[in-house]
Structure 1
Amino acid sequence: MNNQDTLFKPDDFELVREDQSDFVDEAYAKESYWRDILSRFVKNKGAVIGLFFIFLIILMAVVGPGMNEHTYDSQIIQHQNLAPRIRAIESLNIGIFDGSEKMSTSTGVVEVNKYVNPEKETGLENTYYWFGTDVLGRDIFTRTWTGTRISLYIALVAVLVDMLFGMSYGLISGYFGGKVDMAMQRFSEVLNGIPTLVLVTLLIIVMKPGLFTITLALALTGWIGMSRVARAQVLKLKEQEFILASKTLGAKDFFIIFKEILPNIFGQLIIMSMFSVPNAIFTEAFLAFVGLGVPAPNASLGSLISDAFKSFTTHPYMIVFPVIVLGVIMLSFNLLADGLRDAFDPKMKER
């Protein structure tokens, strides 16, 4: 049977759809670059949660210290070592935030409530400390949110140093190359070889301890990571066709750096700056913990943790709240940075 003998009947073939809608081109709404990034970011639940907690912590850092009559340095010796007590939760009788705490004694574990004494009036029956008080009778709630301000300030300093100095340093070093790149990279390597703790200690010897000293120490070495990322991105792009076209048309070097190259790598630089924030906050907290932070009676999360660590076995509530706030801040910025990375470069998620 040859091909000429093959006969097709009318019902041998049928269209998938009678209206032939599969053959009509569909029109998709055009989305801008930033709208596309925003849509991918919103789909990342972890990043959205991290951003929400960052806004919440910023709000509490702004209004928290003013939510009661206490200040970060006010001391009431009669109110020392009071456990957390919240009126709304105390009325529920669920055994937490009612002013009671369990203490280990020679006779065993006993439950103590210094706010209320059935045998005599304590004068604290109508007193409420939401996070409790420390060994000097200072309100931990107020001191915690005051210390959070310092952590957020350090985060802002880290971003500004990265974006203003580290970014420019890396862009210039990578673009010009040659001897300029060699000299700039050797300088950054020498500076990076000095440990931050040693640098802060030397600065404190020369200058008085304080927030400015810590800020200066972070500013001296905190930009090096950003400069390396910016330099690597420039080395990838500076031989591209659009850069060569700009040079051919007579564009100046700094115009090419900040108008042609920077917009193409800005997403990666934002991501790097967000990842540097938790490291800067942890560095400040560590320095405060070892006694190289802001001097008393100023409060930072690191100094609060350091002071509360001494009373951890007897009054563990003193260290719980600063640790939780510090942990939430660092975790939130990490989640935000991870979400920004996936939003700016979806291919990174597949690697």
Structure 2
Amino acid sequence: MDKPIEFLPNDFEFVKDADGAMIDEVYSGESFWKNILRRIVKNKGAVVGFFSIMIILILALIGPEISGYTYDQQISGHESMAPRIPGLEKLGIFDGTETLKTSTGEMEVNKYEQISGGEDVYHWFGTDVLGRDLFTRTWEGTRISLYIALVAVVVDVLIGMSYGMISGFYGGKVDMIMQRVMEILNGIPSLVVVTLLIIVLKPGLLSITIAIALTGWIGMSRIARASMLKLKQSEYVLAARTMGAKDFPIMYKEILPNIFSQLLIMSMFSIPSAIFTEAFLAFVGIGIPVPMASLGSLISENFKSLTTHFYMIVPPVIVLAVLMLSFNMLADGLRDALDPTLKEV
């Protein structure tokens, strides 16, 4: 017959002392923003996206300065040259050699060997059909795309956020009129808006900036309005009214901090859309005028040489794809970190 089990006082002990055993190791003494930062760092996609954006930003700033060429410099005799990178050429890759298809077959050509002083000439991304350095033009084009991203965020914050918050806060006839105006603007395609602007203005950054400013804020406005309608009857808003607070202090001091995370996420998601819009407009020929370059215009120009010199289109396509993907991953990480419904997941 089994003997009964007897428990002694020292059979069970706290891993720590009695005072420290009840302290939450993860969240004790952790601030709100520190908690958000920790959640973002745990999201590998957001971290990769952030560092990718930083690398592209640094290259866009210093790339045209270190290449030794300007974006509009046409060098006679350097037309359609393959990529050549110092150091890698000794390994047999990126040494300026390309394979050309002819009527009799294929042959390897190295145009660097055919020009005077070619042993000291390097074009890291090659050159286009006019002899312009693609490394310089690619990073100049990236500057344009990053400028468009900045414009998208500023327009979202200054126009979309304020428009939506005012519309949702006052409601009634004010909300009805503001929403009808927004629907009219949203019903006009961006391509039509840009085309009309080009008729009045010259093609360029100003036309694209105005086009984004006219219609790019509508998505942000809807999010801000929906959030305002949800929170404007909250207890802390009623308390602020009771204390004599005016409308705009209530909107920007009481309600905005509670919806800021949603608006920030929406702004991040709007950046890839704005970059793609500029690239599309440049691709169809109504974007940045020559000889200026954007990623979209570079893709449009070099697309014609895809079958003969495919390397011309690869750099702008890769940079554009990585830039848009990085912003999407960073926005997705911010959404996971800032969304209160996901904190217990």
TM-score band by shorter chain is over 0.9
CA distance in 1, matches of 2:328, 2:5: 62
TM-score, normalising length from structure 2? 0.94
Q: Which amino acid aligns with 1:334?
A: N
Q: Which amino acid aligns with 2:170?
A: F
CA distance in 2, matches of 1:285, 1:193: 22
State the partner residue of 1:38: 37
C-alpha displacement of 1:268: 0.6
C-alpha displacement of 1:16: 8.4
Which has the larger displacement, 121-130 or 269-278? 121-130
Give aligned pairs, total: 338
State the partner residue of 1:149: 143
* Residues 262-292 of structure 1: CA deviation (Å, up to 9, x unaligned): 0001011000000000000000000001111
C-alpha displacement of 1:123: 3.6
Among 189, 193, 204, the alignment partner of 2:183 is 189
Residues 304 and 322 in structure 1, CA contact (< 8 A), matched pair in contact too:
yes
C-alpha displacement of 1:49: 0.5
C-alpha displacement of 1:111: 1.6
CA distance in 1, matches of 2:105, 2:340: 58
Which has the larger displacement, 106-115 or 166-175? 106-115
State the partner residue of 2:23: 27
Residues 257-272 of structure 1 mapped to structure 2, 5 A cutoff: 257-272=251-266
State the partner residue of 1:3: none
State the partner residue of 1:300: 294
Distance 1:274 1:107, change over 3 A: same
Local SS of the residue matching 2:142: helix
* Residues 287-334 of structure 1: CA deviation (Å, up to 9, x unaligned): 001111111100111110000001111000000000000011000000
Q: Which amino acid aligns with 1:59?
A: I
C-alpha displacement of 1:350: 8.9
Residues 174 and 232 in structure 1, CA contact (< 8 A), matched pair in contact too:
yes
Q: Which amino acid aligns with 1:35?
A: K
Give the fraction of aligned pairs with identical amino acids, expressed as a percent.
66
* Pair member with larger Rg: 1
Residues 337 and 343 in structure 2, CA contact (< 8 A), matched pair in contact too:
no
Q: Would you say 1:136 and 2:130 are equivalent positions?
A: yes
* Residues 153-184 of structure 1: CA deviation (Å, up to 9, x unaligned): 00000000001110011111111111111110
Q: Would you say 1:170 and 2:128 are equivalent positions?
A: no
Q: Which amino acid aligns with 1:152?
A: L
C-alpha displacement of 1:108: 1.5
Residues 341 and 348 in structure 1, CA contact (< 8 A), matched pair in contact too:
no
C-alpha displacement of 1:11: 4.7
Residues 1-351 of structure 1 mapped to structure 2, 5 A cutoff: 11-13=5-7, 17-20=11-14, 25-28=21-24, 29-93=28-92, 96-117=93-114, 122-345=116-339, 347-348=341-342
Q: Which amino acid aligns with 1:245?
A: A
CA distance in 2, matches of 1:16, 1:237: 54
Residues 278 and 330 in structure 1, CA contact (< 8 A), matched pair in contact too:
yes
CA distance in 1, matches of 2:146, 2:55: 12
Unaligned runs of 5+ in 2: none
CA distance in 2, matches of 1:348, 1:185: 31
C-alpha displacement of 1:27: 2.5
Local SS of the residue matching 1:110: strand
Local SS of the residue matching 1:78: coil
CA distance in 1, matches of 2:44, 2:162: 33
Distance 1:288 1:350, change over 3 A: farther
Distance 1:85 1:232, change over 3 A: same
Which has the larger displacement, 45-54 or 237-246? 237-246
Q: Which amino acid aligns with 1:228?
A: R
Q: Which amino acid aligns with 1:92?
A: L
TM-score, normalising length from structure 1? 0.92
